[in-house]
Amino acid sequence: MKLAVNIDHIATLRNARLAEEPDPVTAAHLAELAGASGIVCHLREDRRHIKDRDLQLLRETIKTKLDLEMAMTHEMKEIAIKTKPDLVTLVPEKREELTTEGGLDVMGFQQELRGFISDLKEAGIPTSLFIEPTTQAITVSAELGADFVELHTGKYSLLTKETEIEAELERLQNAAHIAKTFNLRVVAGHGLNYQNTPAIKSIKEIEEVSIGHALIARAALFGMEKAVKDMLKLLN
């Protein structure tokens, strides 16, 4: 199974000090060199983490696949068409949320989504829809012309009871299977970490997972020892 790395939180850390470091573009290059199959960044309306400059540099330098996560707004469509990422993942976006909270309401916004997907397609950009793993959401996504669906694993990642985890895995498995029957490509993401990701491997239809928070958190902690030793070397 392939891994797409979301580098938003590197930008969050940089922006916390209004500084230049750590640079999400450098993080993306290191992730690529380590074997990531793609880089994901979410350009939010409020630019709270990834900024336009980051997207531009990522587009110029990413060699694997650049997946631009964005909301379905006129501004974002213009940016996508100008920047030409390898994939656009459409997500719902609320200003107050800490992270993307739910799947897209594909049923409620069919007309808008159809036009949006078609405009991106015309510009040569495939679209992925971030949706709940339900038959209805998948059927509508296929009908709207999406190329990919990203199955939302947020609910799965929050469960603690074994029986509930099994049931949610089955729901994801069924959703992935149905998506394949519609010739949709299937990826998954949100809330995946070192504990709950291995079970996702059993769903063969899912070709890639998209992971951010858990990876960046581990990178920060595993890098601590070297960072301290490097500074001590300078001091002594």
Binding site for ligand PXP (CB under 6 A): 6, 8, 42, 69, 89, 91, 99-100, 130, 150, 189-192, 210-214
- CB closer to ligand PXP, 144 vs 230: 144
Cβ of residue 228: shortest distance to ligand PXP, in angstroms? Answer: 26
Residue 49 annotated among the catalytic residues of the structure = no
Task: Indicate which residue of 9, 49, 152, 190 is catalytic.
Answer: 190
Cβ of residue 176: shortest distance to ligand PXP, in angstroms? Answer: 15
Residue 42 annotated among the catalytic residues of the structure = yes
Lookup: tokens for 133 = 């793993």
Residue 9 annotated among the catalytic residues of the structure = no
Cβ of residue 190: shortest distance to ligand PXP, in angstroms? Answer: 4
From the list 229, 236, 213, the residue with the least C-alpha distance to 8 is: 213
Cβ pair 72, 90 in contact under 8 A: yes
Lookup: tokens for 116 = 């949006």
Burial tier of 195 (Cβ tally within 10 Å: 0-12, 13-18, 19+)? exposed
- CB closer to ligand PXP, 73 vs 236: 73
Q: What is the 3-state secondary structure (H, E, C) of 7-19?
A: CHHHHHHHHHCCC
Residues with a catalytic annotation lie at 42, 69, 190
